[in-house]
């Protein structure tokens, strides 16, 4: 009774279908953040234009990223981006990776060990508690990373970096591409909705929603009839 037995039936139910959606969007959330690399570019107006490129990426410890400014008189100045936003970014990615691992584990349990999952109340109860914890974590990490992303955009805005070119005059050449990071925040809040909503369907599998034994009146009614 404890062996693996593949059953795709749970996929057709909200419990399994939503878990698959969580698995997919959890990957999207941490992948769009963890692999990000961007740059911001300026150009100094000399006899020939000198391009200045400041690179940055995950985990967004911006002071570790230096860039060189070559002035019109030939002098060079090495400067750094400002701001360390690694805590919110790494927290967001960590929640995503842990959520992915739990989704993988629970899908194996749903599809291969459904009889083990339902044979006692401990399986659904444990699933409900962990899913509720992840819903709360998605709320916290998505909010923190949304604020962190706003700070990253501000710190890497080339219009703010123009002052480093003085006494020369600089122009903005290109802005960082932030669409991927914007999507990561959306994926984070989408995961919040999915995990919080899935709590209801898991709750219906627990003894808190349906009593383990039928009411005494029902049993009496059957016996008397």
33 domain-assigned? yes
**Structure confidence at residue 120 as a pLDDT band (50, 70, 90):** confident
- The mean pLDDT of the chain is 86
pLDDT at 195: 96
Average pLDDT over residues 93-111: 94
55 domain-assigned? no
Q: Inform me whether the pLDDT recorded for 45 exceeds 90.
A: no
Average pLDDT over residues 65-69: 84
Residue 70 backbone dihedrals phi, psi, to 5 degrees: -100, 110
Longest CA span, the chain: 104
Count of the separate structural domains present in the chain: 1
Q: Per residue in 141-192, pLDDT tens?
A: 999 999 999 999 999 999 888 887 877 788 888 999 999 999 999 999 999 9
83: alpha, beta or left? (left if phi > 0; alpha if psi -120 to 50): left
pLDDT at 47: 76
Q: What is the pTM of this model?
A: 0.85
Domain residues for 142? 8-41+86-160+176-205
167 domain-assigned? no
Q: d(Cα 78, Cα 119) in Å, to the nearest integer?
A: 65
Q: d(Cα 144, Cα 194) in Å, to the nearest integer?
A: 19
Residue with tokens 């941490």: 30
Average pLDDT over residues 2-9: 72
2 domain-assigned? no
Kindly state the helix (H) or strand (E) to which residue 173 belongs, with its residue range. Answer: strand 170-174
Residues written for the chain: 225
Average pLDDT over residues 87-98: 97
93 domain-assigned? yes
46 domain-assigned? no
223 domain-assigned? no
- What sign does the dihedral 126-127-132-138 (CA atoms) show? positive
Alpha-carbon distance values, 128 to 8, 47, 122, 132 (Å): 21, 67, 10, 6
61 domain-assigned? no
């Amino acid at each position: 009774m404890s062996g693996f037995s593949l059953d795709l039936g749970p996929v057709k139910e909200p419990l399994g279908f939503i878990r698959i959606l969580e698995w997919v969007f959890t990957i999207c959330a941490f992948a769009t953040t963890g692999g990000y690399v961007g740059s911001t570019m300026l150009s100094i107006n000399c006899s020939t234009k000198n391009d200045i490129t400041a690179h940055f990426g995950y985990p967004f410890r911006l002071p570790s990223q230096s860039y060189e400014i070559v002035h019109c008189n030939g002098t060079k100045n090495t400067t750094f981006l400002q701001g360390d936003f690694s805590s919110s970014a790494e927290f967001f990615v960590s929640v995503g990776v842990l959520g992915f691992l739990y989704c993988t584990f629970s899908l194996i349990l749903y599809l291969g060990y459904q009889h083990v999952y339902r044979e006692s109340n401990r399986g659904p109860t444990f699933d409900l508690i962990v899913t509720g914890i992840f819903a709360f974590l998605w709320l916290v990490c998505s909010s923190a990373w949304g604020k962190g992303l706003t700070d990253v955009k501000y710190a890497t805005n080339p219009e703010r970096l123009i002052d480093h070119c003085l006494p020369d005059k600089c122009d903005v050449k290109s802005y960082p591409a932030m669409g991927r990071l914007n999507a990561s925040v959306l994926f984070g809040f989408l995961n919040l909705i999915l995990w919080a909503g899935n709590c209801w369907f898991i709750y219906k599998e627990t003894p808190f929603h349906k009593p383990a034994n039928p009411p005494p009146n029902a049993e009496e009614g059957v016996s008397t009839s």
